[in-house]
Amino acid sequence: MSVRSSATASVRRVATLAAATARPTTERDRERRRIAIMCLPFFALATVAGFVPLAMLVRISLAEETVWIEGWSLEAWRTLATTAEYRWVAWNTLWFVGLATLVSVALGVAVSHVLEKYELPFERAVVAAVSFPIALPGIIVAYLIIVLLGRQGLVTNAIAVATGQSALDLASATAITGLFLGYVYSLLPRATMVLRGTYAEVNVQAEEAARALGASRWQTFYHVTFPEIRPGIVAAAILTFRSGLAIFGTVLILQSHRVLTLQIHDEISVGSYDPDIAAAIGLVYVAFIVAVTFVGLRFIENEAVEI
C-alpha cells in the first residue's frame, strides 16, 4: 500500500514537472523548458547518430545470423572471452598506447613549461608547430612518418649516406618504432594543448612567495608548481590515452603492430567477415573508454578537460 502510494506520488510529481515544463508559470519552470529546448537538438542527433547505432552493435554482437541479424547467440562473446589472440591484441593495445601516452605527456610538460616560462625567439611559430598536427588525420601522420623513416625517407637516407649502409635496411617507418613515433606525433599536440591551459593558470605569485620564503628551486617546483599542474597532467593523460586508443588510419597504413582498431577492421574485411565479433570488440572498447574517462574524471575537476 505505502509502496504503491509513494509510486503514485512520484508519478504525479514527474507529471507535474512535465506539465510545468510544457506550460510554465514560474521563471524556474520557464528556465527548465529552455534547458530542455536547448539540449534537444544535440540529444536528437546523439540518439540517432550515436545511441541507436550503439544499441545496434549490441544486437549484432548477440545475433546468431549476422547478415540479416536474426536469432540470438552468445557465440561472439564466447569467442572473444576464450580466444588467446584477442587477449594478446588487448595487451598489445594497452602497453603501446600507454607508453605513447607517457612519452607524449612528458614531452608535453616540457613544451608547455618552456612556452610558459621562457622567453623564446619564435614563440608563435613554436605554438603553431605544436598545435598544427591536431588537424592531421592518422593517414597523413603515417605518411609523414614514411617521409622521415621510410625507404625514401629523409632520416633514413641521411643515415645511409653517413654510415654507408643501405637505405632499405635502415627504413623503420613500417617497424614498430615508426608506428610508435606516429602515435607520439598524433598525441603530443593534444597533450600539450591541455597542459598549456594548465600552465597558464599556475599561480606565479605563489611560486614567487615560495621562493621568497626560502624554498629552493626544486622545492618550489615540488611543493607549489607540481601540485598545481597535477590535475592537468592527469587530464592530459586521460585524453591522450583515449585519443591513442582511437588511432586507426596510422596503423592501417603502417600495419606494424596489431592493435584493437586494426583487429576490428580485419574482422569485417572481406575474407574474414565476422561483424558479431567486430561489434563485441567495439563494445568492449567503447565501454573501456567510457570507464577510463569517468574514473579518470573523478580525480580531476571537469573544467580541466579539453579535447
Partner 1 sequence: MSEVVLESLTKAYGDEVAVDGVELTIHDGEILGVVGPSGCGKTTTLRTIAGFETPTQGRVLFDGVDVTHVPPEERHVGLVFQSYALFDTMSVRANVAFGLKMQGVSTAERRKRADELLALLDIADLADRRPTTLSGGQQQRVGLARALAIEPHVLLLDEPMTGLDAKLKTRLRDEIGNLLADLGVTALYVTHDQEEAMAMCDRIAVLDDGTVEQVGTPAEIYRRPANAFVANFVGSSTLLEGVAENGHVDLGFTELPVAAETDGSIRVAARPAAFELGEGQIEADVTNVTYLGDRTQLTATLPDDTTVTLHADGSDSYRVGDSIPLSIDADRVHVLESD
Partner 2 sequence: MTENTDSTGETIDGSNVNGESNGAQNERCGPNATDESKADRDTLAGAARGGPRPDGGTATAAASGEWSRSETAYSTLFGRPILVGVVSIVVAFLTLPVVVTVVSSFAQSATGVVPQGFVTLEHWRQVLGFGDYGVRSNALPGLAFSLAIATGGMVLNVVIGVPVAYALTRYDFVARDVVNTIAILPLVPGLILGIAFVQTYPEHGRSAVGLIAGYCLLKSPYMVLTVQSSFQSMDLVRLEESARSLGASWPRTFLTIVVPHAKRGIVAGAIITWTLAAAEFNFTYMVASGSPDPFAIFLYRNISNATYLQSAAAVSVYFLIVVAAILVLQVIGNSGFTTTRQR
Which residues bind to partner 1, rule: CB under 8 A? Answer: 25-28, 30
Residue 50 in the binding site for partner 2 (CB under 8 A): yes
Residue 208 in the binding site for partner 2 (CB under 8 A): yes
The Cα–Cα gap between 136 and 140 comes to 6
Choose which of 1, 3, 218, 271 interacts with partner 2 (CB under 8 A).
218
Residue 135 touches which member of partner 2, partner 1, none, C-beta under 5-8 Å by kind? partner 2
What's the closest the beta carbon of residue 39 comes to partner 1, in angstroms?
Answer: 21
Cβ distance to partner 1 smaller for residue 29 or 228: 29
Nearest to 239 by CA among 183, 296, 198: 296
Cβ distance to partner 2 smaller for residue 79 or 293: 293
Residue 244 in the binding site for partner 2 (CB under 8 A): no
Choose which of 20, 79, 94, 221 interacts with partner 2 (CB under 8 A).
221
What's the closest the beta carbon of residue 245 comes to partner 1, in angstroms?
Answer: 41
Choose which of 20, 133, 256, 274 interacts with partner 2 (CB under 8 A).
133
Residue 18 in the binding site for partner 2 (CB under 8 A): no
Single out the segment in contact with partner 2 by CB under 8 A; choices: 3-11, 70-78, 87-95, 180-188: 180-188
Cβ distance to partner 2 smaller for residue 75 or 98: 98
Cβ distance to partner 2 smaller for residue 92 or 131: 131
Residue 193 in the binding site for partner 2 (CB under 8 A): yes
What's the closest the beta carbon of residue 37 comes to partner 1, in angstroms?
Answer: 15
What's the closest the beta carbon of residue 168 comes to partner 2, in angstroms?
Answer: 12
Residue 97 in the binding site for partner 2 (CB under 8 A): no
